[in-house]
Structure 1
Amino acid sequence: MQYRKLAGTELDLSVITFGAWAAGGWMWGGTERKDAIDAIRASYDLGVNTIDTAPIYGQGTSEEIVGEAVDGIPRDKVFILTKYGMRWDLAKGDFAFRSNDNSGRAIEIYKYAGRESIVKECEDSLRRLRTDYIDLYQIHWPDSTTPIQESMEAVAQLIQQGKVRYAGVCNYNAAQLAEASNYVDVISNQVPYSMVKRGIEAELVPYCIENDKSILAYSPMERGLLTGKMKPGHTFAAGDHRANNYFFSAENLRRINIFLEKIKPIADSKEISLSQLTLLWTLAQPGITVALAGARNAEQAVQNAKAIDAALSPDELAFVTAQLDQLALVKPNE
C-alpha cells in the first residue's frame, strides 16, 4: 500500500481509502453486514488504514459496521473519518430529499449543521464507532440555513475537547472552503471526482494545491459506472439510487463502454481490472490525496487495495486522458 499525508498533519492515509457508504446498504439495494465487515477487515490486512463513513449511510448502520470491523485493531493503527450535517431524525435546515431506510420506511433527509446538532451527532458517532475520538470530522454538505462560522466553531470546540482530531469539509466550493478556514484549520475537502466528473479541476483543485488542502476524491469509479461491468439494459436492485441517474442511461452506458474498450488494453497489459486502472488514473491527478473506494464484500475490497500494485506511465496517463476528452455523455434535457 502507498500512503500520503493529510495536509498539515502527521496522518499517513492509505491512498486507497475504504468508502463505507455501500457497506451501510442504504440506497444500494441492501447489503450483508458480515460481508461488509469482512470487506473492511480484508482491506486493513492489505494496508488500507483509512475508513470513511457517515451517520446518514444506513442511518447509523455504516458507522456501526465500521465500529465492529475495527474493534480489536489498535486505535492508532486505523484512521476513522466520518461526517455530520445530514439528519433523518430532525426536520430542520435545508430539505435535501426523500428516501427510504433499509427497512423500507419513508424518511426525509435534511442538511443541518447547527451547533447543538453537531455536538449530538458527534456523541452518537463516537458511540456507534466504539471510539473516543474521530480522526477527521467533516461537514457532509453545505447548509445554507446555518452560518459557516457556527458550524466550524462547533467543530473547533470538539477538537479542543479531544473528541475530534482534525476538521474537514465535503462538497464545498473554493469560496466556502476559504471562509470555513477562517474559523478552524480545515485540512481537507471531500468531493466527487472521477474520469467523467472533473469539474473540480477548474477552480477547487488549484485552490487546494495553493493553500495546502487535501482533496479526498469520492466515487472515483462513478458508483460502478467505470468498472466495465454495466452494460446497456442493466437492471438495478430495488432501492438502488443509480436506477434513475442519467449516468446510467442505456445511451451513456453504451458510450462509456466504448471508451472503456479503448483503454482496456492498458489494463490487460498490466493484468489489472478497469476498476483498478480507474483508481490509478484518479490518484495520479494533480491535487488528489486519496481515492475513496467502496466495497460490499472482501473480494471487491481486495481488488481495490491491490490497485496500487501497478502503475501508469506518463504516456499511458496521457492516452487515457485523451480518450476521456473525446467522451461526451448525454445529460438531462439534451
Structure 2
Amino acid sequence: MNNKNILSNAIRIGLGCMGMSEFYGETDDDNSFDILHAAYDLGYRHFDTADMYGKGHNERLIGTFVKELGSRGKDILIATKVGIKRDVNGPGTLVIDSTPEYILQACEQSLNRLGVEQIDLYYLHRRNPDVPIEETMGAMKQLLDEGKIAAVGLSEVSTETLKQANSIVKVSALQSEYSLWSRDIEDSILPACNELNINLVAYSPIGRGFLSGTLKKEQVHNEGDLRGKLPRFQQESFENNQKLLDAVKHVADEKNCSLAQVALSWLLGQNPLVTVIPGARKLNHLIDNFASQDIHLSKEQISYLSEAFKPDNVSGYRYPEPLLKTTNT
C-alpha cells in the first residue's frame, strides 16, 4: 500500500462513513461533505465505506469527496468492502456472496463509484462459509495482480479463516466490532493479528454512540435507526448497560475529557495494531474523536475499565441472531 499502509500510519483514528448514508436516521449530503472536508483538514486520512452502505450511495459520496480534494487527496486511504447483497430476496433481505465472480464484478462497480483506478484497502465484508476461502482469496489475488486493489482485508471472520486466508494472500487488515462492550475478539482474533502482524480495524468503537453517554433511549427507536433492532439497545438491556457508564464517567472525570474519548483511548491502549474508525456527523464529535489519540490512560485506568466491562456484565447481544450468524465465519 506504499505510503498509505495503515500498519505504518501514525494516525490511528480513521472515519467510518456508513452513517452518512443510512442506519442512524436522516442523512444530509451537504453536511456529509462538510464533515468529510473538515476531517481531512483535521488530519484524518483513513476513510471507510462499503458498497452496501446506501446501496452504493456511500461510495459515490466518498468518490465525490476524493474528486473535490484533487491532488491534495494523494495521501488518503480509502477502504471499501464487498460481499453483502441487499434486497435480493425482498426488501430488507441480505445475501452473503463471496464467490470469485461476484467479487470481481463488484470491484469494478466500486472503482466506478469511487472514481479511482485502485482501491487502497478492499475488504471481504462477510464470508459465506459455503464458498471455499481459497476461491475467495484467489479473486482477491487476481485484483491485486491487476492493480485494482492495493491491499486485502477481511471483516468479522473466524481465527481459522483469517489464518487460512493469510496463507494464500497477505491480509493487511481485519475489521471487527471492538469496543469496551464488544470484546469477543480478545480471546483469539486479536492474538492472531499479533502473530500475523495484521492491523485490527475496530468499527463501532464507541458502541454505536452508547459509550459517549449522550445517547437517549428514545433516539434509537427513530425511523431508520438500526440500533432499535439490536438486542443490547432494547429497553431492559439499555437500562442495565447504562450502569456500566459510571466507570467511563469516573475515568473521564480523572482525565478531564469526554466519555467517547475514554472509550477510544481504552481501545488504542489495547494494542499498537489497533486502528479505530468512529463515525461522526457533527463537527464537535469529529474533533473530539480525533483528539482522543492524545489522551493516554494509565495501566490502572485501562484495567479498571476492562474489569467494569467484563463481557458477562454487558446485557444483550450486539446483533440479532440472523446477523450474528454472519460473523465469525
Q: TM-score, normalised by structure 1?
A: 0.87
Aligned to 1:32: 28
The separation in 2 between residues aligned to 1:226 and 1:295, in whole angstroms, is: 14
Kindly report which structure 2 residues correspond to 1:285-296, keeping only aligned pairs within 5 A, or say none.
285-286=270-271, 288-296=273-281
| Change in CA separation of 1:324 and 1:149 when aligned onto 2, cut-off 3 Å | same
Instruction: Pick which of 320-329 and 252-261 moved more.
Output: 320-329
Farther-moved stretch of structure 1 (250-259 vs 142-151): 250-259
Q: In structure 1, the residue corresponding to 2:55 is in which secondary structure?
A: coil
Q: Is 1:50 the equivalent of 2:35? A: no
Q: Give the 3-state SS of the residue equivalent to 1:58 in structure 2.
A: helix
Q: How does 1:105-184 map onto structure 2 within 5 Å?
A: 106-184=91-169
Q: Partner letter of residue 265 of structure 2?
A: L
User: Which region of structure 1 is more displaced relative to structure 2, 321-330 or 276-285?
Assistant: 321-330
More helix by share: 2
SS in structure 2 opposite 1:223? coil
Deviations 1:268-290 (A, max 9, x none): 34332111110110111136420
Q: Which SS does the other structure have where 2:185 is aligned? A: helix
- Cα distance in 1 between the residues matched to 2:284 and 2:63: 21
Residue in 2 aligned with 1:313? 298
**Offset at 1:200?**
0.7
CA distance in structure 2 between the aligned counterparts of 1:242 and 1:132, rounded to whole angstroms: 35
Match of 2:323 in 1: none
Residue 328 (structure 1) aligned with residue 326 (structure 2): no
Asked if 2 retains the 8 angstrom alpha-carbon contact of 1:38 and 1:297, the reply is no
Q: Give the CA deviation at 1:234.
A: 4.7
1:19 corresponding residue in structure 2: 16
Cα-Cα RMSD:
2.3
Between the aligned partners of 2:10 and 2:147, the Cα distance in structure 1 is 20
Distance 1:287 1:86 in 2: 30
**Equivalents in 1 of 2:6, 2:37: separation in Å?**
22
Contact preservation (8 Å) 2:220, 2:233: no
Among all aligned residue pairs of Structure 1 and Structure 2, give the percentage whose two residues are the same amino acid.
30
Task: Count matched residues.
Answer: 314
1:243 aligns with 2:243: no
Give the match's secondary structure for 1:216: strand
How many Å apart are 1:297 and its aligned residue?
A: 3.1
In 1, Cα distance between equivalents of 2:96 and 2:178:
21
| Partner Cα separation in structure 2 for residue 250 and residue 90 of structure 1 | 32
Aligned to 1:297: 282
Could you tell me whether the CA contact under 8 Å between 1:225 and 1:247 is conserved in 2?
Answer: no
CA distance in 2, matches of 1:315, 1:133: 44
- Take 1:314 and 1:5, find their aligned partners in 2: how far apart are those partners? 29
Counterpart residue number, 2:59: 63
245-254 vs 154-163, greater mean Cα deviation: 245-254
Deviations 1:180-207 (A, max 9, x none): 1232111221011111111111111111
After superposition, give the CA deviation of every residue in 1:142-194 in whole Å (9 maximum; x if it has no partner). Answer: 11232211111111111111110011110111100111123211122101111
Unpaired segments of 5 or more residues in structure 1? 92-97, 99-105
TM-fit CA distance, 1:4: 10
2:21 counterpart letter in structure 1: G
Match of 1:220 in 2: 205
Residue in structure 2 matched with residue 6 of structure 1 by the alignment: 6
**Distance (Å, rounded) in 2 between the aligned partners of 1:235 and 1:293:** 18
1:136 and 1:13 map into 2 onto residues whose CA distance is 17
Q: CA deviation at 1:231?
A: 4.1
| Structure 1 residues 326 and 291: alpha-carbon distance in aligned structure 2, compared to 1, 3 A threshold | closer
